[in-house]
Structure 1
Amino acid sequence: MTAADGAGPLLLGVRHHGPGSARAVLAALEAREPKVLLVEGPPEADAVVELAAHEEMRPPVALLAHVVDEPGRAAFWPLAEFSPEWVAVRWALARGVPVRFFDLPAAHSLLLETGDGDGGDGDGGDGDDGGERSGTGGVRLDPLRVLAETAGHDDPERWWEDVVEHRGGLSADPCAPFAVLADAMAALREAHGGAPGDAGHRRDAVREAHMRLRLREARREFGDEGVAVVCGAWHVPALTAKSAVTADRRLLKGLPKAKTGITWVPWTHERLARHSGYGAGITSPGWYGHLFSSPDRPVERWMTRVARLLREEDVAVSSAHVIEAVRLADTLAALRGRPLPGLGETLDAVRAVMCEGSDVPLALVHDRLVVGDVLGEVPEETPAVPLRRDLTRVQKSLRLKPEASERDLELDLRGETDAARSRLLHRLRLLGVDWGEPARGRTGGTGTFRETWRLCWRPELSVRIAEAGAWGTTVASAATARAESLARDAGTLAEVTELAERCLLAGLGDALPVVMRALADRAALDADVGHLAQALPALVRSVRYGDVRGTDAAALREVAEGLAERVCVGLPPACAGLDADGSAEMRGHVDAAHRAIVLLEHGDLLTRWRAVLRTLAGRDRVPGLVRGRCARLLLDDGQLGDDEAARLMGLALSPGTDPGDAAAWVEGFLAGGGMLLVHDERLLGLVDAWLAGIPGESFTDVLPLLRRTFAAYEPGVRRTVGELVRRGPAGPGGQDAGEWESVPGFGAGLDRERADAVLPTLRLLLGTDRAGTAASGTAGTGAASDKTAASGAADGMTGRAGTARKAVTAR
């Protein structure tokens, strides 16, 4: 059986995803006109191969086969417009020639054990199983690469182009190159075929046995000359080898078998690229697509595309640049002994002429053109699991089209469409389908009615959808079932509270009763204050912002308030006797609990929490880090007067206090922003005096803590504090008077007229109706100065009190 003598089946050994191979295959098929076409791939695909001719089918696409009862066991067979198999299938379907896939069935191959190098395609796809296995990978011998390197080429596809596309009339028979290639593969198999005992060799032997059996069936039905085969070049010698039918059947006997499903799914150029992890990938699918679609003047057309891209990115590129780049590419090809410029020559020319030697714009060319961001399409008639059909329907109704390139999506949850989009993306994340990832918005705002998502559709998400199909037939029902399962299996209280928040974000009201039962059960059994504090923020966010999405969070509020009460009771004893690591962890718990309790806006609970903070701030047995943090939280909330803050700092930094504990107190008090030192001269004077009085032998011990504290400040704040310290106290009383010389840009005192101008805008931002209402939370604190009036307006808002205080007192 040869490809050239016309006496046997037409065996076309190819390199997958190669435009040169694709053109050569098309020419050979046109010359021979076979009656049946056998293609490397799972025979289950015979049922869906007709869809390849559908007018809505847009490559790149892939055949996806998966085990019905275990969708995670799956494999892809990707095809691009320049793939020889795709070109051959389209040619056959257009002429009514039957197409049959003759590789080992997916029902067997998905269950076979895979070893190193046997989880996917070979590097070039010529000695592989044609499919990318989900979750596995491996690199085996690339036969065409070996041949190319033997001939002195570093690019196997370029070598194939040189010997096939540019052979210059050495042979008028389009089938002749395949016969020569078959001989070369036979020599390579003899030298690199692998040991009979290794997993890759055994897998190839089983696959090739099945190929031979299917080939024999086709020869009996259509005759030797009526059969054409398109497969990896590595397999051609095995198809011509003499092997008994009984021996082949013996190899296939006893193989594991599973019920499988198969369909077409969209693929991407990026996923075809080797850097994405696909063993049979190619480094430049965009370039290969260009070569296949532009048989005439490919270099000129390519340079024009590059110029257009760079112009769109505001890079100055003229027609003269294009002309010079083409000339340079041709010159480089001549110097390197190549018949036409390849990708290496064109990129070198683009870098030198259009990018002025810079790799920055060249990286853009690589990502957009050399690799490309093309996403294929499949027709609606394509078989799919019910969940995928529902997802497609919802995507269309919400006008959310999957795209291969990353893009940011800004959502305003006050709108019905954007709210529905948010629910869809949150539901998919619950199902493990990470089509969208939450991202920081362009505005950087923290409004609860806005969300920013980074969307990018990856082909492997099709497998995740198939796996998620076990939870339900629609996105909503599947996400509900998944959330209920996670609630039952959750190991910690924090996991359940986070799940409750995710259910609210996803609009899964039906799942909340199960989640709430699990939450109540775990909250009743968990006595660890740290666990309670960790669980509280997510729960309170759900209570606080649930109404933005129109959900009922009354039950969550009950649980949240109960957890907060338990934190208030258990926190003081939990803070005693902590080491340095325990202190740092407890400080994080205090911050989390404070933010959560303030957001709850429960008057009695907030009063009790502040009493706990006061207790901790004045208790000597509490580590300095926690005491300092509690004092700062009270100060920012307007619950601690400046005199009292100065007294606590003076006690913490007194000469009798251990320098290490004092440094920890300073770290806890000053963490989160240094504007406090800029605007409160007395506190700055206390810190400065304490630093100046630390003995030399102790200073080196506290220095790391101090550096960590002040390094977190913004450069402008550090510079201002340093300038204040450098100038020192002013006035006849010096430092004892607590008066420091002002820094340019900061007034010596409070400008009441300017502060009053800020208050109306501040009330609008905080949603208060009048100054009296805003300041009511600070009643009874003894804070009489206007410097704390604005912080009173922010009472009850997480972190906003300190911001308001700074806004009014600044300058």
Structure 2
Amino acid sequence: MTTFTPGPLLLGVRHHGPGSARAVRAALEAATPEVVLIEGPPEADALIPLAAEKDMRPPVALLAHVVNEPGRSAFWPLAEFSPEWVAIRWALEHGVPARFIDLPATHTLAWGNEEKKETAEEEKGQEEKGSERKGERGEKEAGASDRSVDADVRIDPLAVLAETAGYDDPERWWEDVVEHRGGAGIGADPFAPFTALEEAMGALREAYGVGGHDRDLVREAYMRLQMRSAQREFGDEVAVVCGAWHVPALRQKTTVAADRALLKGLPKAKADMTWVPWTHRRLSRVSGYGAGIDSPGWYGHLFAAPDRPVERWMTKVARLLRDEDRMVSSAHVIEAVRLADTLAAMRGRPLPGLTETTDAVRAVMCEGSDVPLGLVHDRLVVGDVLGEVPRSAPAVPLQRDLARAQKRLRLKPEPMERELELDLRGETDAGRSRLLHRLRLLGIAWGEPTASRGSTGTFRETWRLRWEPELSVRVAEAGVWGTTVLSAATGKAEADAVAAHALADVTALAERCLLAELPDALPVVMRVLADRAALDADVGHLAQALPALVRSLRYGDVRGTDTHALTDVAVGLAERIFVGLPPACAAIDAEAAEHMRRHVDAVHGAVGLLGEPGAAASGGIRERWHSVLRVLAGRDTVPGVIRGRSVRLLLDDGELGEDEAARLMGLVLSPGTEPGDAAAWIEGFVGGGSGGGMLLVHDERLLGLVDAWLTGVPAEAFTDVLPLLRRTFSAYEAGVRRTLGELVRRGPGARGSAEAAASGIPGFAPDLDPGRADAVLPVLSLLLGLDETYDDFAGVAR
């Protein structure tokens, strides 16, 4: 039995280490201390009893945030296999007091704020400091054994120990010396692993000092003061669970005055603390304990498996792969276990570790492929476990209101990404949509809207949901705007409207207010929108703002929202664009012309929605827009890309005949026009994703004009127009490009039949053929499941 020096029982651990967790449990059972002191913020002492409630399921984390600035926060995560969690649970089960003894969060959070301020100064002197170090190294003898660490270099104790033992992977070393040695080395003596770790860390501290962790000196001084306080109250029956790195410093004999001197003058910030859910995925990152682990799912398995961990792990992997429709049998499991054991023996390891099991799974169950192996790593090695905290845990009012809304709408937070299809005609889905839009407005990105693979109707929405633990901080931060999700979103929208600089930002905000159904915020947003629109004379800004505003007008149809207040603003905005657009398009360079062309497209789409039959603003607005397009199409001072797009939009709307469009193209492509301007006109007319390729396929005259112009471009000008033409035609789909190439290869005389020549469109007769059209009606009736006969349909069709 190992004998400790008189004083507290110091149990040095690896944070989130299952071997350390088992060793801590065994040591506490053997020592039965009167109090358990744990590395962590002492403000959380009042939260410790919550760990015993049935609704508390790790992984969880202690969240501390500045009361008046919730964005300044810190986490202390705990998993089921964390030694600190095991110590808390042991104390609660045995009726023993448990206390946190690390530096209070009030100082930690204030320190974090000061670090940001110091970073700029440190970076400023980095170059000079680097030169000084280089000179110092040059002065040392070549064979010097000075192992003092630079103050700016932080060492990883486990990595140093692993390297000393001849390992290149700290995780593999930890598995060999702790996890695979009979439960962290627990045999007849439960204190032996802690003695060994303390000796190793003592040697490291002697060689490296604080190892670049300068603030550990302050933390350790506070821990020693807390230990002395506990000893005065409970005697030497005190157990301390902390990172093994701190044990030599806590064992060190210092005076109370010296420790208090280190704590004098520390910055402070008023902090609040609670429990929040955590995930295994977040444990794989550097956390508040500074102990990120690569394989939390694997460690959780090692901690929970009562025996035969490799066999149980392979069974889990086989079950996962079978759920993904992969052919994995019990024979695969047996063979994978044998291979893992063989690899461990060949590599001199006491038991198969994660490396051996992964290699065995790849070879036996995944047939050498890393694709299914990636699924195993994501789902099992890392894991998708999301913890839970009881409702009795402290929370800001906004958090409680969000939890009630999630329960009412049956929208449970989940760590895995999933898609959610919403039908806004149903009350539950409409409520889910409102909640998600309100949270997005508050900066709580639980869900992100995405394109729907099914219906394109305005009554459907598709969301991609994933709950991250950091969203708890965003919720606390958003609490400054209100105590409920509705009131907070309203307050945030009003503040954003007043602070917005661009007109487009205000119109986008109006759209988001309608999506989130914030009737109290909309008047404020509309007032700001009207003021900004009246003062903004930039046509580009107005054109950016109009589409979002017009889209907002459509939401009243599905969501039952009153959008009457938007109509007047939208119509006024459109009228100002109509007046200012032609002058704004005159005499501008190619880059500005391309931007303006996109504005023309956006305004055209907005006017199409605003001027729909039955719309409140439909009267005459489309006719006025078509007049603007005719002006743009006919002015020589307007760049070719805008003139070409204006002609195309008029043609698509039926406001320009095909003969007139061909005439305008012929004028532009005549020898008197500069090749660059002609190429730009073509790009505007048939470029981009506007379906221009199919237009050329079906209109032989237009294709012939382009073909004749292109073959006649002078050699010296062809190089200049080639990039523009490549951009125009490369946007077409491969099938369209292939068809155009075949038509050009055949030549103008062989592109169409006699019927095509008569109609002007290859593949189409000059008149409709009712007989051929009627032939599809019986099949159409059958597909639609209608009772009417196809004769009735034929009559309707005619």
Cα-to-partner distance string for 1:227-252 (whole Å, 9 max, x where unaligned): 11110111101101111101111111
Aligned partner letter, 2:605: R
Residue 372 of structure 2 corresponds to residue 361 of structure 1: yes
* Structure 1 position 221 matched with structure 2 position 233: yes
Q: CA deviation at 1:142?
A: 1.9
Question: Which residue in the other structure is 1:769 paired with?
Answer: none
Matches of residues 64-463 of structure 1 in structure 2 within 5 Å?
64-113=63-112, 115=115, 140-167=154-181, 172-194=188-210, 200-201=213-214, 203-224=215-236, 226-274=237-285, 279-443=290-454, 445-463=455-473
Output the amino acid matched with 2:163: E
Which residue is equivalent to 1:130? none
Could you say which residue in structure 1 is the equivalent of 2:42? 43
TM-score between the two structures when normalised by the length of structure 2: 0.88
Per-residue deviation, residues 544-569 of structure 1 (Å, max 9, x unmatched): 23331111111101000000000000
What is the Cα deviation at residue 163 of structure 1? 2.7
Equivalent position of 2:495 in the other structure? 485
Q: Comparing 184-193 with 285-294, which one deviates more in the overlay?
A: 184-193
Identity, % of aligned positions: 74
Which amino acid is the alignment partner of residue 229 of structure 2? E
8 Å CA contact 1:724, 1:741 repeated in 2: no
Deviation per residue, 1:187-216 (Å, 9 max, x gap): 111222347xx7x31x11111111000000
- Contact 2:23 2:186 survives alignment (8 Å): no
Is 1:596 equivalent to 2:606 in the alignment? yes
Q: Is the 8 A contact 1:22 1:87 kept in 2?
A: yes
The aligned amino acid for 1:499 is L
Count of aligned pairs: 736
Q: 1:379 to 1:732 in 2, by over 3 A?
A: closer
| Shift in alpha-carbon separation, 1:118–1:458, aligned structure 2, 3 A | farther
Shift in alpha-carbon separation, 1:448–1:392, aligned structure 2, 3 A: same
Q: Write out per-residue CA displacement over residues 300-345 of structure 1, whole angstroms, 9 at most, x where no aligned residue.
A: 1111111111111111111111111111100100011100000000
Asked if 2 retains the 8 angstrom alpha-carbon contact of 1:263 and 1:382, the reply is yes
Shift of 1:435: 0.2
* Match among 682, 685, 689 for residue 701 of structure 2: 682
1:164 CA displacement:
3.5
> Structure 1 length as normaliser, TM-score?
0.87
| Aligned partner letter, 2:485 | V
2:384 counterpart SS class: coil
Q: List gaps (5 residues or longer) in structure 2.
A: 120-151, 612-617, 781-796
Deviation at 1:34, TM superposition (A): 0.8
Matched residue, 2:148: none
Distance (whole Å) between structure 1 residues aligned to residue 164 and residue 450 of structure 2 = 49
2:444–2:474 CA contact under 8 A, matched in 1: yes
Q: Using the alignment, how far apart are the partners of 2:5 and 2:257 within structure 1? A: 28
Contact 2:210–2:216 (Cα < 8 Å) also in 1 = no
- Structure 1 stretch displaced more, 689-698 or 464-473: 689-698
Classify the secondary structure of the residue corresponding to 1:74: strand
Which residue of 2 is the match for residue 779 of structure 1?
none
More displaced stretch, 110-119 vs 535-544: 110-119
Q: Deviation of residue 709 (structure 1)?
A: 0.7
Contact residue 759 and residue 766 of structure 2 kept, 8 A = no
Q: Deviations over 1:330-370 (max 9, x none)?
A: 01000111000000000001111111111111111110111
- Cα 1:275–1:705, aligned 2, differ >3 Å: closer, same or farther? farther
> SS of the counterpart of 2:599?
helix
Residue 723 in structure 1 maps to residue 742 in structure 2: yes
Which stretch shows the higher mean deviation, 578-587 or 107-116? 107-116
Cα RMSD, aligned residues only: 2.7
SS at match of 2:76: strand
Residue identity in the other structure for 1:73: R
CA contact 2:11–2:194 (8 Å) conserved in 1: yes
Q: In structure 2, how many angstroms separate the alpha carbons of the residues matched to 1:407 and 1:256?
A: 43
Gaps of 5+ in 1: 120-137, 763-789, 791-811
CA gap 1:291/1:453 in 2 versus in 1, 3 angstroms: same
Query: Which amino acid is 2:420 matched to?
Result: L
How far residue 648 of structure 1 moved from its aligned partner, in angstroms, is 0.9
> Aligned partners of 1:733, 1:398: CA distance in 2, in Å?
60
Going from structure 1 to structure 2, the CA distance change for 1:12 and 1:705 (only over 3 Å counts) comes to same
CA distance in 2, matches of 1:184, 1:277: 24
Write the letter of the residue equivalent to 1:237.
Answer: P
- Match for 1:232: what amino acid? G
Deviates more, 1:300-309 or 1:157-166: 157-166
334-343 vs 139-148, which moves further: 139-148
- CA shift, 1:159, in A, is 2.8
Q: 1-side partners of 2:533 and 2:760: how far apart? A: 54
The amino acid across from 2:84 in the alignment is E
Structure 1 letter corresponding to 2:403: T
CA contact (8 A) 1:682 1:739 kept: no
1:576 to 1:116, Cα distance in 2 relative to 1, 3 A: closer
Counterpart of 2:661 in structure 1 is 645
Q: Give the Cα separation in 1 of the matches to 2:290 and 2:735.
A: 51
Q: What amino acid is aligned across from residue 69 of structure 2 in structure 1?
A: E
Cα deviation, 1:746-770, whole Å, max 9, x if unaligned, reads 55666544678999999xxxxxxxx
Distance in 1 separating the partners of 2:316 and 2:289: 27
Q: Is the partner of 2:749 in helix, strand or coil?
A: coil
Distance 1:109 1:383 in 2: 20
C-alpha distance in 1, partners of 2:776/2:250? Answer: 84
Q: Deviations over 1:271-306 (max 9, x none)?
A: 111389995211101111111111311111111111
Match of 1:625 in 2: 641
SS state of the match for residue 111, structure 1? helix
Secondary structure class of the residue paired with 2:111: coil
Report SS of the residue matched to 1:264: strand
Shift of 1:66: 0.6
- SS in structure 1 opposite 2:448? strand
- For the 8 Å contact 1:433–1:464, the answer to whether it is kept is yes
Structure 1 residue aligned with 2:570: 560
> What SS is found at the alignment partner of 1:274?
coil
Structure-2 residue corresponding to 1:663:
679
For the Cα contact (< 8 Å) 1:728–1:740, is it kept in 2? no
Picking from 696, 704, 711, the partner of 2:730 is 711
Query: Which AA in structure 1 matches 2:329?
Result: S
**CA 1:154–1:174: 2 relative to 1, 3 Å:** farther
1:707 is aligned with what amino acid? R
CA-to-partner distance for each residue in 1:654-686, whole Å, 9 max, x for gaps? 111111110000000002221111111111111
Deviation at 1:693, TM superposition (A): 1.2
8 Å contact kept, 2:175–2:353: no
- Contact 1:577–1:622 (Cα < 8 Å) also in 2: yes
Q: Report the 3-state secondary structure (helix = DSSP H, G, I; strand = E; otherwise coil) of the residue aligned with 1:491.
A: coil
- Distance between the aligned counterparts of 1:391 and 1:75, measured in 2? 22
| Cα deviations by residue, 1:371-430 (Å, 9 ceiling, x for unpaired) | 011110011111100000000000000000000000000001111111110000000001
CA-to-aligned-CA distance 1:710-733 (integer Å, 9 cap, x gap):
111111111111111111223699
Residues of 2 paired with 1:3 and 1:386: CA distance? 52
The residue number in structure 2 matching 1:772 is: none
1:465 to 466, 471, 475: 475
User: Do residues 539 (structure 1) and 549 (structure 2) align?
Assistant: yes
Partner of 1:787: none
Q: Is the 8 A contact 1:37 1:97 kept in 2?
A: yes
CA distance in structure 1 between the aligned counterparts of 2:778 and 2:188, rounded to whole angstroms? 87
Change (3 A) 1:726 1:43: same
* Alpha carbons 2:77, 2:289 under 8 Å: kept: no
Residues 758 and 732 (structure 1), Cα distance of their counterparts in 2 relative to 1, 3 Å cut: closer
